[in-house]
Amino acid sequence: MAVYSISDLHLSFSSEKPMDVFGDSWNMHYERIKNNWKTMINEDDMILICGDISWAIDMDQAMVDLKWIDELPGKKIISKGNHDYWWGSISKLNNLFENTRFLQNNYYVYNDYAICGTRGWICPGLESFTESDEKIYKRELIRLTLSVEAAIKAGYTKIVVMLHYPPVNDKFEPSGFTEIFKKYNIEKVLYGHLHGPFNSSLFHGISDGVEYVLTSCDYLNFKPVRIL
C-alpha cells in the first residue's frame, strides 16, 4: 500500500470545456491520466487529489467527472480547488461513493500518518491581494488549523497537508500557512493550482524541514507522484 498525489485534473465530461486550449500537452489529458493511474495505482493504494477536479458548476454536472475518478483504482481523498464550484455539503459528498472521500475541516488516516488540509488562498505580499482576499485567507488558516488539531488530538504526529493554492506568495515569503506547518511539525505539504510552462523558480522541495510537492498534473506530466 502506497500514497500518491495529483491535482488539477480539470475534467469536463459534461461541461464541454476541453483543456487543449491551454496547450498541446493538454490534448486528451484525461486519457493520459487514466492510463498512468491504472499502470501505477493498486486497489489498496491511496491517492490524494488536491483540488480543481472538475469544470462543472453544479453537482449534476460534476457527477460524471467524480464517477470517472471513483472508478479508477485506489482509495481517493479529494480536497477543494478554486474552480470546484460544484462542491457542496461535506456530509453529502462523503456519502456519494465507496472509494472516494472529501476533505474539509477533518482528516483521514494512512497507517501512522494523518492526511489534513484545506483549499488555501493567495497569500499576503501579492500586489493583487485585497481586503476581500484577507478575509478568505484567514478563514482558510482557521480551516487548516481545525483539520490539523483534530488529527493531533487523536494522537497523530506525522501529518501530510493537502492544499490547492501554493502556501506562499510569488516571492516565497513566510505566510500564515507556513507558520502552521512550523508550529505543528508538518512533514509534507502538497499543492497544485500552478500550470506551465514551468521554470526553476518553484516552491518545491524542502524548506524549514517541510517537504513541499507541486502536484499539478501538467507539472507531473499527467502521472501521479508517490508521496509515501
pLDDT of 58 higher than 80: yes
Can you give the pLDDT at residue 203?
A: 86
Show the cell assigned to 46.
491511496
Compute the average pLDDT of residues 50-72.
95
Q: Model confidence over 95-142: pLDDT tens digits?
A: 999 999 999 999 999 999 999 999 999 999 998 999 999 999 999 999
Write the CB contacts of 157 (distance below 8 Å, at least 6 apart in sequence).
Answer: 185
Cell 453537482 sits at which residue? 59
Pick left, alpha or beta for residue 212 (phi over 0 → left; psi -120 to 50 → alpha; otherwise beta). Answer: beta
Measure the CA–CA gap between 21 and 6, rounded to whole angstroms. Answer: 21
Band (pLDDT 50/70/90 cuts) for residue 22 is: low
Q: According to CATH, what is the number of the domain 3-226?
A: 3.60.21.10
Residue 112 near residue 71 (C-beta atoms within 8 A): no
71-80, 99-108, 199-208 — which is least confidently predicted? 199-208
Band (pLDDT 50/70/90 cuts) for residue 20 is: low
Would you call the peptide bond into 18 cis, given omega within 30 degrees of 0 as the criterion? no
Residue 107 near residue 151 (C-beta atoms within 8 A): yes
Would you call the peptide bond into 73 cis, given omega within 30 degrees of 0 as the criterion? no
Band (pLDDT 50/70/90 cuts) for residue 201 is: low
The residues that bridge with 227 in the sheet, in sequence order, are none
User: How large is the greatest C-alpha to C-alpha distance in the chain, in angstroms?
Assistant: 47
Residue 8 near residue 219 (C-beta atoms within 8 A): no
Q: Model confidence over 143-175: pLDDT tens digits?
A: 999 999 999 999 999 999 999 999 999 899 999
Residue 222 near residue 20 (C-beta atoms within 8 A): no
In what helix (H) or strand (E) does residue 136 lie, and over which residues does it extend? Answer: helix 131-153
Can you give the pLDDT at residue 113?
A: 98
Measure the CA–CA gap between 114 and 158, rounded to whole angstroms. Answer: 6
Q: Name the residue ranges covered by the structural domains of the chain.
A: 3-226
Residue 146 near residue 184 (C-beta atoms within 8 A): no
Show the cell assigned to 200.
526553476
Residue 6 near residue 47 (C-beta atoms within 8 A): yes
Measure the CA–CA gap between 163 and 184, rounded to whole angstroms. Answer: 16
55-59, 158-162, 202-206, 213-217 — which is least confidently predicted? 202-206
The pair phi, psi for residue 77, each rounded to 5°, is: -120, 125
Can you give the pLDDT at residue 181?
A: 98
Mean pLDDT of the chain, nearest integer: 93
Can you give the pLDDT at residue 204?
A: 86
Can you give the pLDDT at residue 226?
A: 98
pLDDT, greater one: 35 or 200? 35
